[in-house]
Structure 1
Amino acid sequence: MTATEKLNKRRPILKKITIALWVVFALCIIGFPTYIWAVSNNLNNWFGNLPSYSQLENPDQNLTSLLFTADGVQLGSGYYRNNRNPVTYDQLGDNLVHALLAAEDIRFNSHSGIDLESMFRVAFGVITFSPKGGGSTISQQLAKNLFNTRVIKAEDKGKLEGVNGFLDQLIYKTKEWILSVRLERSYTKEEIMAMYYNTVEFGNNAYGIKSAAKTYFNKLPHELSVQEAAVLAGMQKGVTTYRPDINPENSMRRRNTVMSQMVKYDFLDKRAYDTLKVQEINLEEFRQQDHNTGLAQYFRAEASKDLLELCRNLGYDLYGDGLKIYTTLDSRMQAYAEDAMDSSMRSLQALFDQKLAKEGRDLWIDSKGREIENFFEESVIPRSQAYRSLVRKYGSKSDSVDYYMNKPKKLKVFSWGGDIDTVMSSIDSIRYYKQFLQSGFLATQPSTGAIKAWVGGVNFQHFKYDHVRYGKRQPGSLFKPFVYATAVEQGYSPCYTFRDEAVAIRTGNGSEVWDPSNAEGRFSGEEMTMKLAMAKSVNSITARVMDIVKPDKVVDMAKRVGIESTIPPYYSIALGTEDVSLFEILGAYGTFANKGTHIEPYYISRIEDKYGNEIYRHVPRKSKAINEDVAYVMLNMMQETVRNGSGIRLWAPGYYNLTDYNQTEFSIGAKTGTTQNASDGWFVAVTNDIVAGAWVGGDDRAIHFTHWPDGQGARTAMPIVALFLQDIYADSTLNLQKTVFQRPPNLSMEIDCQKFVDVLTPTDTTIYDDDIY
């Protein structure tokens, strides 16, 4: 065969090769760019929509809104859908930056969103069946995290998506390429690095590096050590697989891989690596961030309810817009309040349990200490959530309700010695939890209305109900100052005297007569001033004063100073028979401390958006309730409670030593309150700086001490308030001054009762409940 013949024979082959080369050339030079253009513009809606440039510049990250105290301490993990707190590049620290570069994208600073070298390496690995790792850059991963390129909404879905699995993967990857290049054009490398760390998940409800660093190591990102940074950066290969809390061996192996890469790229010295690689991962500071941990748990839960409405009215999303919310709480005062609650209630519960066991009785008793028959079965169980859920499911007459209520199951229950793993039925669990006494505590700054400490109960994880705002109970003698303030406003001096004797007051309701008795069940027959009668909570004299000033005037006084609950104009309200909340009581007593001006208690001072722009600032709601003279006289009368009444332990030797008997250098006013049967114990103390109050009682009013003195406010609620006051006035960082109440310059009313006595003889009067020392 001649050379010409051979050439002619090869021409078809050469022609095919040439055509193939031109096809490849056309695909590469023309087709691929055309394909990229088609995906970018969603040609004929084949490929689905891409985020707009506006969305690229303002990606929706569902940022956590953070809550701060007045002294700058973050409260808990904030409000979030995803627990994400963004940081800037400068806040990352070198260790995190180097770990991510070494583990994920060493050429990050030189490519423009797509790393061609890595792509060719991956392609070659696929062809030769020897994969050499992933080819996604940090920018591509950020695009996937920000815009969920592989989770397509119905309205964004293209015609070709969902047709074929391979085609889907190609389209998804193409979108990531396009978005990564666009991100590189819109942001600096530093911004992309920070955005990446802010968007990734780390398990345990931690989204973003700041939450992860806090959760796993209780540090800020820039404080992380080399090995800690390597742990978190390495988790991105598989969050669950490499979580240090559940897969420590996998996590340690992955950490060492990242550190070896850091050695390879000169981010870490080889000798340092040899030392670090054998060390175990230290998770001593590991704390899962949730609403059951941290400071002011009750407060945070209650604040969220008001913040939801406030933010909605402002046009913001509390759980996604990354707001900064500044509260009036003081972290130091809050910690002291929680410590005082814990210490006092732990001791009180031990006493209650001891007496309950010694008496060998059921939990629910009447005023005479007699067990209330079938109270648990007929009143407690039907009100329980477990019972109501079963009734909704099976019907009230179904045997299934009784079966499941009595079925044993594994539970973790609260105890003052720590949580206990046990086996209980729902019936047993309800009875068990009912035995715990409950409490609420609140402290406000009277001059501003700012709430400084809020403890809604004894343990938020197990008892969610907030006793500060929602726990309305009878205040007992805590209501009496409103009666006496009405009398003072009408011109009656606190030095007017009455005889402690039986009274019978016609109420105006037919032949009905109100004839209250004293707490101790007897009348002394002694003459005493209004000031001393209030200090000792003498019901008979309070009733006489009520008969003088009349119930409607007392109701008006209570409303003016801050009581918002409905109070009917009955004579018996003088002894605190109508339910009120601790929140209301503190606001009302704050009026006395604030020279007669009522300021509604508040706890949100201002709110900033994620850019630091102020979007809300609280404006105090003020009203002049009573004149300054009346307010001062009431403070002076409440001082008598500390000198000679039920608050005497505040200064008495061997107790709290908060002031001296004469209160010449430090004024404290106080009032106790105890309801009938000692179901509720109250105590409020007032200084120029702080109004602090506590309530203590059982979940049901029928849960109480058998002997009334054991449950009076001076013994149940006072210790919480007293310990709190001891701590805050001993803390020099709070800058609280032990000052005296300032007498108004033009006060003409006589208040020094050793100099003046005027005997009145009104009608008759009261008892119902109250404190004896």
Structure 2
Amino acid sequence: MAKKTVKKKSASTNVVDFSKYVRWFWMTFASGVLLFILMFLLASWGFLGEMPDHTILENPKTHLATEIISSDDKTLGKFYLNDNRTPVDYSELPKHLVDALVATEDIRYYDHSGIDARGTLRAIAKFGEGGGASTISQQLAKQLFTKQVSSNKIQRVFQKVREWVIAIRLERQYTKEEIIAMYFNIYDFGNNADGIRSAARIYFGKEPKELDIKESAMLVGMFKNSSLYNPRSHRNPEGTKNRRNVVFSQMEKYEFITEIQKDSLQKTELDLNYSPESHREGIATYFRAYLDRFMKDWIKNNPKPDGGNYSLYNDGLKIYTTIDSRMQKHAEDAVQRHMPRLQAEFDHQNTPDRNKTAPFLELDESEIKSLMKTSMRRSERWRVLKNKGKTEKEIEASFENPTQMSVFAWKDGKASEIDTIMKPIDSMRYYKSFLHPGMMSMDPQTGHVKAWVGGMNYRHFQYDHVKQGKRQVGSTFKPFVYATAIDQLHLSPCDTLPRQQITIEADKYGNPDPWTTKNSDGRYDGFLTLKDALANSVNTITARLMDKVGPQPVIDMARSLGVESDIPPVPAISLGTPDLSVYEMVAAYSTFANKGVYNKPVMVTRIEDKNGTVLYQFTPESRDVLSDEVAYTTINLMQGVTESGSGARLRRTWGADQGVYKEIITGYPYGFTNPIAGKTGTTQNQSDGWFMGIVPNLVTGVWVGAEDRAAHFKSITYGQGAAMALPIWALYMKDCYADSELNISKGNFEKPQELSIEVDCDKLKDVTSDEKDPADDLKDVLDF
């Protein structure tokens, strides 16, 4: 019988063989690593999308706004199209701002090299739901070099890999501090707040280094979503504050602040100081508009080294100007204080009951209709519709269609807007009723323009009344006549002339008709010194001087003083018939204050590129016009205006005439005690009011008037330069003097060492005989 063999099971047959699984695991792991490496390599080589090279990493392409910088190193404004960005260095960032960013966005920032391994693994484990994967360096890479893609997960993975690669390269290229500064500079905080510099200025009215901890926390909180957590947004009113408080919690969690500090800070309000930075808002808007034209001309004539043109809006230029931000603010404040009160009185006098053709005077309905039609043709609406191919009849009809609009108004003494429905033609007539200011202030020794106010509200009135606008200058032209006469005839302020009328015959000096002057007070008796005659704007005496020297020498004098506008060679110019700009008048008057040396007004001292390379340096333009003796004598004459003439109210410390002007004379009485030379100017129908004021180191001109000369005060009581323009000068100077850092002179005008012209009339009174005709000294000179 065959023996049956029994096969015994080995104990080892009960053990599962895991070797193949181990092999598969390591193969899969190795494949994953290789795939990960391959993806990095592919990303580095640009197969997953365009990658920045070394040069681009060194100079990331960002649009930088051109910055306008004042003489006291403040930012007046910027030129930009889409990106209002001005970069700052890490040293300009407060520590609590950086701490808030690190605590909220990347607590291990200083320990990794662009990729946070722990955060990345956590994000992978939670399938991207846990957050924490993006480091500050990765977020910067995303902002600079990658674009937001759709929800396609594969594309998002590829983008993430590119961000990792770029982040590592950034970490090799820059220091940790530089990366943080770049991140703050690149981020869009909304409301034209591109970068931390703009954000600090727009939301809090500060420079970044001036931010406090709660302001820093709010801005860092916006990194999560600047649209959702925008403090100006109505979508999520409490969201911004809640997000800011999350930042405080993170700072407390990582021991940047204590729990007590956190609890206290979370109870605070946002305390915004919203200061929008647009081309039509902020400080020195009219000056910035002038500068825009200046820069475009400069760019046209000054190409880059490579032959291309600089971009005013993207190249990050720095324009250093002569404007002093403090003086500019004082000037704008003076306008804002005086103009609403002056306008209120004008409106009171021009109600339909008091003036059927309001706001116009001396025009009938047909003339008004013609004026409005001319205005229509000059309007933006006409230009736009004309370009669209509309007929003139269609365009005119559009002005009769009621339209929803926001119009300018003075409300509670402040500039404001009123939302209304109005016919465009009615809105045009409404705007014709407004009085406008123009004001410029300049250092006569350097030619540096310190303040420039071209109007009262640039958003609604873009026309610049400093350089663009030219209006009749009235009696402010008379010092040019007096200076010419002093220069040619060696006259003294103490010399006397008769007040009686004078007629300049036809054909003399090309005058087509006989010309006889009238005095505004109707007086023609007795004699006056030249000083008293100028102080009181006596027309007949100015006409006598003009008759002796002739129009052409006066025109030549004005030309040498910087006046470029046309001046007809007729005797009537002596009373101020030429249309000149505030810019021209201030430059001319500055020559008298600068001992007879004309300095062309300077607005820009230098221009730099974004790297600090100087592209433009101004060269002073000056010339000798008058001897210091003639200049000083003319100044002495104009001092009489503020001592006893039409500008004497500057010196009063009591309000005798305040009853008449109480509604329009802001800040009166002024009580100035220092030497001031000046001249008021009023045109014949009160359509233009001027005041030119001079102290040794500052010359300021002010004009006030309506857009159309047919809109004006009915009487000289309110329509004179002393009521319309002088108060703005006075308010401005009081604020300038209150600011001791400005060093505005209160001293005497410097007297020439050798002065052969007698200017102290008190000395002459002691030696003048009562029997002597006071005009004897001038009979041989003037032949009257």
Band the TM-score falls in, shorter-chain normalisation: 0.7 to 0.9
Contact 1:362 1:371 survives alignment (8 Å): no
Once the two structures are overlaid, the 10-residue window that deviates more, 298-307 or 748-757, is 748-757
Contact 2:437 2:454 survives alignment (8 Å): yes
The DSSP-based 3-state class of the residue aligned with 2:76 is: coil
2:324 is equivalent to residue 319 of structure 1: no
Shift of the 91–473 alpha-carbon distance from structure 1 to 2, 3 Å rule, reads same
Instruction: Give 2:116's aligned residue.
Output: 115
What are the Cα deviations for residues 155-175 of structure 1, in whole angstroms up to 9, with x where unaligned? xxxxxxx9x955543443332
Contact 2:146 2:159 survives alignment (8 Å): no
Could you tell me how far apart the structure 2 residues matched to 1:228 and 1:36 are?
Answer: 39
Instruction: Give 1:711's aligned residue.
Output: 719
- Structure 1: state its 5+ residue gaps: 152-161, 661-665, 766-773
Among 271, 290, 298, the alignment partner of 1:302 is 290
Instruction: Give 1:328's aligned residue.
Output: 322
What are the Cα deviations for residues 569-603 of structure 1, in whole angstroms up to 9, with x where unaligned? 23332222222110010000000110110001112
Among 176, 180, 196, the alignment partner of 1:193 is 180
Instruction: Give 1:255's aligned residue.
Output: 244
Could you tell me how far apart the structure 2 residues matched to 1:624 and 1:751 are?
Answer: 22
Could you tell me how far apart the structure 2 residues matched to 1:500 and 1:189 are?
Answer: 84
Could you tell me how far apart the structure 2 residues matched to 1:427 and 1:2 are?
Answer: 114
Among 684, 698, 717, the alignment partner of 1:690 is 698
Among 314, 321, 339, the alignment partner of 1:345 is 339
Contact 2:691 2:701 survives alignment (8 Å): yes
The DSSP-based 3-state class of the residue aligned with 1:415 is: strand
What are the Cα deviations for residues 326-369 of structure 1, in whole angstroms up to 9, with x where unaligned? 33233332232222222222221121111112623323545599
Instruction: Give 2:473's aligned residue.
Output: 475
Contact 2:359 2:433 survives alignment (8 Å): no
2:33 maps to a residue whose letter is: C
2:683 is equivalent to residue 675 of structure 1: yes
What are the Cα deviations for residues 194-215 of structure 1, in whole angstroms up to 9, with x where unaligned? 2111111111111222322333
Contact 2:438 2:464 survives alignment (8 Å): yes
2:190 is equivalent to residue 203 of structure 1: yes
Among 40, 54, 61, the alignment partner of 2:44 is 40
1:275 Cα deviation from its structure 2 partner? 4.6
Identity %: 41
The DSSP-based 3-state class of the residue aligned with 2:503 is: coil
1:610 Cα deviation from its structure 2 partner? 4.1
The DSSP-based 3-state class of the residue aligned with 1:109 is: helix
Shift of the 481–138 alpha-carbon distance from structure 1 to 2, 3 Å rule, reads same
Shift of the 383–318 alpha-carbon distance from structure 1 to 2, 3 Å rule, reads closer
Contact 1:476 1:675 survives alignment (8 Å): yes
2:251 maps to a residue whose letter is: M
Question: In the TM superposition, what are the counterparts of 1:450-529 in structure 2 within 5 Å?
Answer: 450-494=448-492, 495=495, 497-507=497-507, 512-520=512-520, 522=522, 524-529=524-529
2:59 is equivalent to residue 82 of structure 1: no
Once the two structures are overlaid, the 10-residue window that deviates more, 549-558 or 402-411, is 402-411
Instruction: Give 1:727's aligned residue.
Output: 735
Question: In the TM superposition, what are the counterparts of 1:276-287 in structure 2 within 5 Å?
Answer: 276-277=265-266, 279=267, 281-287=269-275
- Given the two structures, how large is their TM-score scaled by the length of structure 2? 0.85
Could you tell me how far apart the structure 1 residues matched to 2:191 and 2:66 are?
Answer: 18
- Structure 2: state its 5+ residue gaps: 1-6, 305-309, 655-667, 769-773
The DSSP-based 3-state class of the residue aligned with 1:256 is: helix
What are the Cα deviations for residues 634-680 of structure 1, in whole angstroms up to 9, with x where unaligned? 112212223343222233453655556xxxxx432211222231111
1:98 Cα deviation from its structure 2 partner? 2.8
1:737 Cα deviation from its structure 2 partner? 3.6
Instruction: Give 2:307's aligned residue.
Output: none
Shift of the 174–95 alpha-carbon distance from structure 1 to 2, 3 Å rule, reads same
Shift of the 690–268 alpha-carbon distance from structure 1 to 2, 3 Å rule, reads closer
Could you tell me how far apart the structure 2 residues matched to 1:149 and 1:2 are?
Answer: 69
Once the two structures are overlaid, the 10-residue window that deviates more, 651-660 or 496-505, is 651-660
2:332 maps to a residue whose letter is: E
CA RMSD in angstroms, aligned pairs only:
3.5
Could you tell me how far apart the structure 2 residues matched to 1:114 and 1:261 are?
Answer: 21
2:363 is equivalent to residue 355 of structure 1: no
Could you tell me how far apart the structure 1 residues matched to 2:624 and 2:575 are?
Answer: 26
1:521 Cα deviation from its structure 2 partner? 8.0
The DSSP-based 3-state class of the residue aligned with 2:442 is: strand
Number of residue-to-residue matches in the alignment = 737
1:96 maps to a residue whose letter is: L
What are the Cα deviations for residues 386-438 of structure 1, in whole angstroms up to 9, with x where unaligned? 34433443624444652464313142532242423333232232222221100
- Given the two structures, how large is their TM-score scaled by the length of structure 1? 0.86
Among 444, 447, 450, the alignment partner of 1:446 is 444
Could you tell me how far apart the structure 1 residues matched to 2:32 and 2:264 are?
Answer: 53
1:611 Cα deviation from its structure 2 partner? 4.7
Contact 2:109 2:135 survives alignment (8 Å): yes
2:223 is equivalent to residue 229 of structure 1: no
Contact 1:497 1:760 survives alignment (8 Å): no
1:475 Cα deviation from its structure 2 partner? 1.0
Could you tell me how far apart the structure 2 residues matched to 1:28 and 1:336 are?
Answer: 68
2:385 is equivalent to residue 384 of structure 1: no
Contact 2:501 2:516 survives alignment (8 Å): no
Contact 1:501 1:523 survives alignment (8 Å): no
Could you tell me how far apart the structure 2 residues matched to 1:701 and 1:539 are?
Answer: 22
Instruction: Give 1:635's aligned residue.
Output: 635
Could you tell me how far apart the structure 1 residues matched to 2:330 and 2:263 are?
Answer: 46
Contact 2:357 2:365 survives alignment (8 Å): no
Instruction: Give 1:395's aligned residue.
Output: 390
Shift of the 440–264 alpha-carbon distance from structure 1 to 2, 3 Å rule, reads same
Could you tell me how far apart the structure 1 residues matched to 2:330 and 2:212 are?
Answer: 33
What are the Cα deviations for residues 67-93 of structure 1, in whole angstroms up to 9, with x where unaligned? 333333332467674222333334333
Which structure's relative contact order is higher, taking Cα pairs within 8 Å and 6+ residues apart?
1
Contact 1:216 1:283 survives alignment (8 Å): no
Shift of the 178–657 alpha-carbon distance from structure 1 to 2, 3 Å rule, reads closer
Could you tell me how far apart the structure 2 residues matched to 1:738 and 1:150 are?
Answer: 62
